[in-house]
Amino acid sequence: MKWIQKIGLKKGTLHRQLGIPVDKKIPVRLLDSIVAAQAGDVIKNPTKIGLNKIKVTRKLERRAILARNLKKI
């Protein structure tokens, strides 16, 4: 799995963008709702962790997809 080191991840970027502390895990329900939404939509956070309303951008969507895929490994 050396490809993971080569992609140049910035640790904590998704946590900061969602307003979730780094020591807490990002819920899969939140990642799924971000991926299901269209870019430009504002979604309500289904969990109580982090920001209540999140504007979905293409960059956020791509980070959520990557996080969801890496959780499966």
Task: List the chain residues with pLDDT less than 50.
Answer: none
At 1 the pLDDT is: 64
**What kind and span of H or E run contains 70?**
helix 58-72
Type of residue found at 30: L
* Rounded-to-integer distance, Cα 67 and Cα 38, Å: 18
Type of residue found at 60: L
* Rounded-to-integer distance, Cα 52 and Cα 57, Å: 16
At 47 the pLDDT is: 84
Map tokens 């799995």 to a residue: 1
